[in-house]
Structure 1
Amino acid sequence: MPESYGAAEAVEDHIRTFVLSKSVRVAEFFKDFDSLRSGFVTRGQFRRCLDQGFNLDLQEDVQAALIAKYETRKDGADLVNYQRFADVIERTFQPDKLQERPETQIIQAPEILGTSRTIRPLSPASQSRITGMIQHIAPYYKYHEITIRSSYEDFDKHNKGIITEPQFFRSFPYPPGINEEDVKLLAKRYRDPSKEGICNYLNFHNDVEKAKEGMVEKLFEGKPPATYNIPKEIEADGELNQIFSKIQVAIHRFGIRTPEFFRDHDKLRSYIITENQFKCGLLLCVGNKVSLTRDEVQKLVDYYKRPDGRVHYKEFCDLMENAFNDPNLEKKPTTEVYRPRRGELSRTLNTLSSPNEEDRLSIILDRLSTDVKKRRLMMIQYFQDYDRSKAYTRNMTKIQFGRMLHFLTLNVGKEDFEILCRKFEDPSTKDTINYPAFVQAVDKEYIGFTTDKSGDKAKKRPRTPTADKPIDSSKVNVAELVARIRHHILTSRIRVCEYFHDFDPLRERSIPRSKFRMGLSAMGLSALGQFNMTEAQFKALSETYADPANSDAVLWQNFEKDIETVFTQVVPNLEKTPTNSVVATEQFLLDKPGTIDWSTAPSEVCMTVDEAMNRMRERVEQRRVLLKPCFEDFDNHNMGIVTKSQFRQCLFYLGLNASEEEMLMLEAKYTNVMGFNYIKFLEDLQPKAQQELKYVQRLKELDLVNNRKVSLEKNPLKDADSVMEKVKTKVIKERMRVHEFMRNYDKLRTGRMLKENFRRALDNAGLGLQPSEVEILINAFESPRDASFVEYLAFSDHVESIFTLKNLEKDPLITPEQFKPAVQVEKNILTGAEENILKNTVEKLAQKVNKGRVQLYPLFEDYDRVHNGTVSRSQFRRVLSELELAPLVNEVELDVLWKKFEITIGGKFDVDYCSFCDLIYKKAKIELFRP
């Protein structure tokens, strides 16, 4: 049984760690099975909750031991007491062990995620170095409000608290004085022992947060915590401390929120305002509560003034707001805060004018105290009855004070009453009495107005830690460094501004050096990227682009302008001048660091290398060997680099023999700091013929094809009047406004528009114009000022004249005539002989219709399914036959009728039977729509 209980306790420790790390309540997993909230579940339900809630894969004996520990016989069944199990897991205080201190009974998880630290022991020097780093970076992170968790949580999608080592390096917030070696040591310190290449950043975050709270002594073998990073170099003197204490007491007593009086002057929330604004906010804040002289106000201003003459009010507000408490106290419930002495913040008693009055006051108070003690009076309750109007202000009027003394039969003379009033009256108003102080003076059992004699020591203002390791950047070639960065930007196609503008929310063109380093690391200029920038190189680069107004900041836009010349070659506003030619970007490409300039090699060496290369080339061509796959087998990351030994191994495998001397020369020519560049070696060994660019030739062919234009127009109009007649007819039929389709292309309302936009507007209007007809309109309304524009306003006015005349309000006597579109039948022109034939034919048909009162329209309408007033020629002939009018018309006369009443609709030639019927009825003198 003891062994089983030991296994059960091990499982409890695992569950306790899981619960503390996830911040969940154990009982919540069991309540779904306990509807009556009895605190008991069955064995199967208990096992299911363990499996589903805590992700445990327990053996049968361990589960049996855990169930046996909490199993209870209840109501004739064996049930598991999950409530007692939850109390054991979550317990922080055992009420049955009062002889032990409560904090000793708290069960802590070994780590914030339940993982142990790395099992690889660090040397004392490394441990001491890590201790110093934590003490150094904690105040910096505290002042700048940087948290480790927020820096890495974007990589931790599942909120497990672990990330890879490259991710740990990539987003590490670099404070001053921390280099790459220090970060590598931190990664080694917080490496997960069970997972290779994984770092537990949440443990690192936990240690830094504890260091911020002053708990470094517990974590790092008793070393004191670092100071809070407030950028203040001078210490407050005694007079200034008195001013601070006086203002702090007033702010605490009256509950004043100091930032509210300065925030309106700080629109950008930079925590910096002018000197006059600071004075106005200070006097508005505590001017009527604390009597401050001009010299005291000026002393405060000088203490918080910056070199540019402005005042950093946030430091003053932080000192005032946290006078008697610590910030974020809800996250640190066990912190002991500074407490003022009892009665220190209350109103002080007045000092009488002469020692005789003080002696007389002592006699009066002793007499009253003896009387109160003899009669065992509880006085404070009687005085509080006069202090219930709005709140307990601890004041009452002099009249109420006299009435209360008379009610308690504590009779004093008039002169003695005046002495009591002068002693206990409010020094500011002079009309109220501080009755708690009087009650305490005469009632020794009342201690509500006591003042302690000893107080806490004043807290000193901390200083800013500075980096203690100097970095020599004198040997760095900045021009070569910038060229390397340009090469990296060009090959990776990176936009520099994307990595820095988030750090510059106010667009001041200046960011801190730490943010500048983070942006460079994100661009790949770090140990994890393609180009490892050292601390000396970063210092030289940041000094080159340093902000003249702030030595700790960098002008990142100047850096961006110099780097992105690889794309624009310093041509400003290149997007506005697309015809400007720029230099080829290939000139910014550099070889890998460590590559030898082969142009300076001796001629004997070059001849030896050329002979070896020619011999290998002939060997490859004869055997038709594929060289690249052999090298790619050793290049797992496809970087085009292999080691020297791998290069020799590949040559031996491919049968490309070379002497030791030739091998050394080849290695010298194609080796850089990363290794042997086999891509360049293969390009020289098997050069490929450069492919011919056929883009220009293809463009010429496309131009030839596009120039072959075939007109698809059918019967286009040839003059401007007929085109305008067509437009007017379309507009009056569909009741549209042409101006509505054109004015959007004229934002400035100049009355003209480009010819391309005019074509587009006519097409959107749906006027049905053919391209040649549109060109006729463009030529007719071409702008005399600019040949590329069209006077569309004149065109729209001319079209709108079919409805009314422009500026008609200036000529009220003019009678406008509405445009009537011509019937298409009227445009059909006949010869003189054809007119005579048409006249005779119509008269014959009219006599027949008049005589027989023939109805023409019904039969025509039967064939007009779409009701557009037209029928085909065959349908026209058929209707005449059905009406018995066909015998009166021969073929010649029928052709004349077709030619006269022909109409085109949709490219099809039909007969307008409405015009034909109207003409017959008119000749027959038959009125329509009349019986």
Structure 2
Amino acid sequence: MATASVLRLEDEIRTTSLTKRIRPEQFFLDFDPLRSGYVTESQFFRILWENLGVKLNEDQEKMVAAKYMFKGDGNVNYRTFCKVISQPFKADDLTRPPDVQKVDAKEFLGTSRSLQPLNEDQERRVEALLQRLNEFYTYHGINLRTSCEDFDWHHRGVIQESQFYRSFPKPPGVTDEDVFLLVLKYRDPDKPGLVNYLNIHHDLLAVSQRDSDIAKSAFPHYKNVTDYLPTQPDVDLTLQQIFDKIRVAIYKNRVRSIEYFKDYDRLRSGIITEHQFNSAIVLAIGKEAQLSPPEVQKIIEYYRTPDGRVQYKEFCDMLEHAFNVPELEKKPTIDVVRPPAGALGRNLPIMTDEDERRVVEVVNRLAEEVRKRRILVYPYFKDFDRANSYSRVITPMQFRRILHFLTLNVNEEDFKLLCRKFADQTSGDINYPAFVQTIDQDFVNYTQGLIQGIEYKSFPKFEDKIVDIRDVNMDDLMARIRHHALTKRLRVSEFFQDFDQLRSGSITKTQFRRCLSDFGLSTLGEHDLTDVQFEALAQFYKDPKLPDKIMWHKFMWDIESVFTQPGLEKDPTHQVPPSEMYLVPKPGTMQWEFASDEHHKLYNDTMTKWSERVKQRRVLVKPVFQDFDKHNNGHITRQHFRQCLRILEMSATETEMQAVEARFCDDVGFHYSRFLEELDPNPKTEMMYVKRIQNLRVVNDDKKAKEDHPVGDLESVLKKVKTMVVRERVRILEWMKDYDKLRSGRMPKSNFRRALDLCRLGLYESELALLEDHYKVPGYEDKVDYMSFTTDVESVFTVKEMEKAPLLEPERFKPPDDWSENQLSKDYEGYARNALNKMAERVRETRMQLFPLFEDFDEVHNGTVTQSQFRRVLCELELARMVPGEHEWVALQQMFGVRIGGKVMTNYNAFCDAIYGMAGFEWRRP
């Protein structure tokens, strides 16, 4: 009983190792550094659990340990255990055959057979269903296991019944009852609701193997594809014929024969033994040339030496120079022997007269069926030819599949004849180009060794057709082409210049037609250029020096005249005609100016009636027409036009309808876009671009900027410059010297102004004029001594040449505050002092803080607020009542006002310091 349990455990472990593709012995070697074949008991079961995923209970561990613990020292012989698991039979047991000793594992993935017992009728139905599924899956290349594995995340071989119904590839004709019977048969007995799809897959493989065995037993004499080849008749060929056959095989297969012989000739004497020669020639070219032993023996006898050996070097030289002459560069007048026509091709084998007649009958029948059904046969065969560079052969099995797919049915005997006739004599595969050419009259690809009695299609010969071009109106044709180039904004040279590599201005006639097609002059383009019209263009632009070429340069200039005229730089007074004159209506458009007065009156009355109706009802007309314009080309059919009128409830008589259609119809259809422009014209949008440009010109004419409070004397200008230099830390000399390359110390006035503008000092025109007059260079009216100017300005930092006066103490320039420069009248100064005294007394009594409220309104932290914000803060501090009248407010704003960005602001820092000072507080306190 214990032995059976151990065998069952070994079967489970064997199944797991086969499923996971694991070699158990590799994991035990890490714990056996001495390679003794033994590990401890704990190590043994830990390896099974961690690496194989097999967890044994205590009883099972005891049974396994008792079987493989040979020494009794607590170590387990893992090597014997791995042999039992990995080897299917005992290699050293010769008393019994291996098939008897073989131990097969159970189903993969650890599953067990889940076949449920059914009645006889259901069993027969399941057997027939498996047979049908095997045929369908084999033909279409379907694998049931692959289809169901997407739902089996843990790879256990079972999925849910609903998942099986979804993933099961059901052939045509298989009903839901058949699928339910299959589910009923293969339900897992231990896991309700699950289907063991893996067992179905294995049973399908068993059915496929059974069918293969039956087929082999039915046709025992066909073992491989080479058996389809006809047997070669025993013909006594001459030695020269044998050499010719070998030369052809060497040339076709690109064989270097010397490489097969020289390995036997270590001394490079050119002579080897008979046995070595026989082995080398068979290995090199025996199969390709189909050499028989008597033919090889003839070659050996011809090259045999007196001592019994064979001269292979002469034989190889003869083969290597097949269809060639050695040292041909030294013999320029010699005639090289060429292979006969068809010798290097794949010739079809010759069969008996009866078989040849039968092949012709079968091929003619297939050719007639291909012609009636208009089947393009070659692509189906080419899809199966996946070898490198297309080997142009397929296997007989692929040949059978393609004929079945094309429903070109032939019986078994005729199929064997076709395989024999079109078999490649080297590989035994089917030469499908030759077969396709025999049944498809429109395919021409194979020319050697064709079947006699069948008419083959030859390559067509293209000859120039004589076309009558007298009915072609060249003016109208050129107008159409110019209209196409103008509306599509196409440059003709872009389509032609790639074909004229030498820039000769001429291309061939076929290239000209191809370029016109790319230009849009084709059936698929905007304008359908007929053969007669193309011939007229070709005759008109024919090159007089080269009659077979077309002057595309002349054609290009004739078409691109819609954009410009060549040589305008030589004639600047030439008036180029407007591009609108090259626009032409679509073909088939009625010339409205030649219509009768009655037609005009009828059309105008109809359009007036419809226009008034559209305006009264405020109908959106365009969407109704656009629904019928699938190509968005502005045209619909006449029937659709009348249908649109019925939808819009715009009635008209047949005469009125015909008058409107005659106005807007052309060869494309009814031009509803032009119709809507006259029926419901949209107001034209006024182009404001011209007016905008005129306004900008008026604004830019007055380039002189308005000066806001300029300084009137030189000292004030220099003070202003020095103040900006100190505050912005600007080195004016760095900007000036770039305009004085020779370092002469002077520069033009324009450059002087340009340099000061780059310094961003904010000087006005009058202030710059004062500086230019003061620093003017004597003798040069348009020059400025910028060195003196920079010296005066930079004196705010230091004194020039101070190293010559070490005891000199320079005075530091301190820029004054902006508000301190404000000058008030005596009355306003009194008003301001009175208001400040009252507010200072109030601040001294209450010890209030002034800065926080002002800082809340100073977002940029520049120490200023607006006049309204200044009043608001004083109101919140209850200091506004200390300013009784408007004069006091104006006085305060004039005293502490500063100009920032052209706007007058109030310096609240100076105001607060003044209040704190008058109240007797320490500076910046409280």
Q: TM-score range by the shorter chain?
A: 0.3 to 0.5
Q: TM-score, length-normalised on structure 2?
A: 0.39
In our comparison, the structure showing a higher alpha carbon Rg is 2
